[in-house]
Amino acid sequence: MGGSEMRTVPGKVWGWLQRYSLGVPILLGLVLAGGLGLLFAIGGGFRDPAAIEAGSVDDYEVRLPKYFEIDRFWIVRLEGDEILALYDKNPQSQCRTLWFINEEFMGTTGWFNEPCQNHFYDYTGRCFDSECTRGLDRFEVEVTEFGEIFVDLSRLNLGPEYDPDDVPSVPPQS
């Protein structure tokens, strides 16, 4: 009789494991699926972590760059609400490029200047120094229908090639 009792206890445990081993994963799966569905339904869907929010188009004045120091890029709002995100690194020297509203070059003020080699770029990032090979590199930008700006730091495009016949875009002169 002692042998039959030993068999029933493991049998009861085995039955319990069979009964609940499928229920727990199914329940966890339903909870996870419901949570993800709710997350997307309330607008918290996935956005690439390399794409950072840079505010609204209305946060920027036309032709006046604004710097994002941590991520090392300049936002420039052009006419027609077009947005550029210019990498602050000079393509040739790798030095940081700075904006100077009062910097005079080619008879006008308002230039990006890279102090290591003294290269000059207009506010659209085009190079106007014969020593340059190309303009400032640009990150991909998305502007939503609500005017929100997202800059994709994982997608960098090369700046335009140097063209000695280009005419610089300059901010309003005082």
Domain annotation covers residue 127: yes
Digit-coded pLDDT (tens) for 71-114: 999 999 998 889 999 999 999 889 999 999 998 899 889 999 99
- CA 147-148-149 angle, to 5 degrees, is 115
Specify whether 16 is located in the same domain as 78: no
- Closest to 74 (Cα-Cα) out of 122, 38, 109: 122
In a domain, 170, yes or no: no
* 125 and 144, same domain (yes or no): yes
Instruction: Count Cβ atoms below 10 Å from residue 156 Cβ, excluding itself.
Output: 15
User: Considering the domain boundaries, does residue 30 fall inside one?
Assistant: yes
Summarize pLDDT for 28-71 with one digit per residue, the tens.
Answer: 666 666 655 555 544 444 455 678 999 999 999 999 999 999 99
What is this structure's pTM?
0.70
For residue 153, CA distances in Å to 98, 117, 119 come to 19, 25, 24
